[in-house]
Structure 1
Amino acid sequence: MVTAGQVIAFAAVIQLGAMSPGPDFAVVVRQAAVSGRRGGMAAALGVAGGVFVWAAAAALGVAALLAASATAFTITKIAGAAYLLYLGARSLQAAYRGSEAPLETMTETVTGGGILDGFRRGLLCNLLNPKAAAFFVALMPQFLGNHPATADTLVLSAIAVLVTAIWFVVLANVVGSLRAFFTRRRVRRALDAGSGAVLIGLGVRLAATSN
């Protein structure tokens, strides 16, 4: 059974990992800036859902197989890079078109479709990142050992989801509270251009990552 000290240490490592700038951070920030708090929180929960999958997969050894298999790693890497490039291209397209033809809704209320879109973006961004698999492959065995109990696996997976969700939900709310500023035409175009460039850069970097 994992101890309280192990739980605290595990939560701290997850927090540091979540706070590190990367694709998840970029997607949640842009979603919150463009679609408001609800859209940003939907993306945050999507990222948390991906974290749960990777944490559980690492505990069960599935993520280790992915990290060890050059073919599986490459396929996931290419898919993830392509998705980030797609999101980046859409952001640049939005910047080029300007606020007169936004790709996302500009209204304060996010529709159910917008929430689902935000959740899907966060989920896919995390699931298609093989670095997330490598992170949990390296982390989980240090706290669970070679033959983890199901209860311990569920506890640590739940903690990973909770810590990640709280961080990104807070981030989404902070950015979402400034949405009136971000939706100004010049600011919005700068945001779209900047986030597009960042996402494309992250996609290129992911594509160049070696196993």
Structure 2
Amino acid sequence: MDTLTPVITISTIHFIALMSPGPDFTLVVQNATRYGRPTGLAIALGLACGILLHSIFSITGVSLIVHQHPLLFSLMQIIGGGYLLYLGYGALTAVWLHRHTPTVAESSSDKSPLLLANRRQAFSRGFATNILNPKALVFFVSLMSSLVPADMSISIKTLTVVILFVLSLSWFSFLAWVLSTPRLQNKLQSAARYIDALCGLVFTLIAITILYQAMLRLLS
């Protein structure tokens, strides 16, 4: 039981973090609402794969090297913040287009940078959103460095990584599934413009925070 205690602790903290609002949560809410269940599930898989990679990098020490190298970490912050800013711009652009062409919803969606042509593109967006998020890197570095014992076996480390992946995929898939049920989606579609606006603001504010921190790091 003592061997599994760190695994249980890490899994519990991770699951709580999954449920807190952030870029991953926001991405699933927005796209499952706008594009439906298949897109939402593809994004869930992409996010889970990003978390899987973060977990592997953190538990093997690769992420710690990046985090301790100021230039590398600042570069990741700039790339990640820029990507989130792009998502925020896309969401707010969709709101603007819908506002000026409210009777042609499909036309406005086609012009939006958020348009997802297929499940592969949805998976890529989910993966990129998670893996490029520097806050995710810091979270996993902190989690693994403080809770993974130095003598933890390879099999237990593997078990930890697998559990984190399964928890992530299960939560985001559940979220996408619930948001895309016919009854709920009919209600949410009428509020799609407001959901896009809220998600756009969330992405933009997080992006600005990350980019600001990157600038401070580079100038210090």
Q: Which TM-score band (shorter chain)? A: 0.7 to 0.9
Cα distance, 1:100 vs structure 2: 4.2
Matched residue type, 1:87: L
Cα distance, 1:140 vs structure 2: 1.5
Question: 1:53-110 deviations in whole A, cap 9, x for unaligned?
Answer: 11110111100011101111111111111111111111111111112424369xxxxx
Query: Is residue 196 of structure 2 the alignment partner of residue 192 of structure 1?
Result: yes
Q: What SS does structure 2 have at the residue aligned with 1:28?
A: helix
RMSD of equivalent CA atoms: 2.1
Query: Is residue 166 of structure 2 the alignment partner of residue 162 of structure 1?
Result: yes
TM-score of the aligned structures, taking structure 2 as reference length: 0.84
Among the aligned pairs, what percent are the same residue?
Answer: 31
Contact 2:63 2:137 in 1 (8 A): yes
- Which of 129, 143, 146 is equivalent to 2:133? 129
- Structure 1 residues 86 and 115: CA distance shift in structure 2, 3 A: same
Query: Is residue 210 of structure 2 the alignment partner of residue 182 of structure 1?
Result: no
Contact 2:6 2:148 in 1 (8 A): no
Which residue is 1:120 aligned to? 124
TM-score of the aligned structures, taking structure 1 as reference length: 0.87
Structure 1: gaps spanning 5 or more residues = 106-110
Cα distance, 1:38 vs structure 2: 1.6
Moved more, 91-100 or 69-78: 91-100
Tell me the distance in 2 between the aligned counterparts of 1:206 and 1:33: 26
Structure 2: gaps spanning 5 or more residues = 99-104
Cα distance, 1:147 vs structure 2: 4.8
Q: What SS does structure 2 have at the residue aligned with 1:199?
A: helix
Matched residue type, 2:129: C
Cα distance, 1:182 vs structure 2: 2.5
Query: Is residue 38 of structure 2 the alignment partner of residue 38 of structure 1?
Result: yes
Which residue is 1:103 aligned to? 109
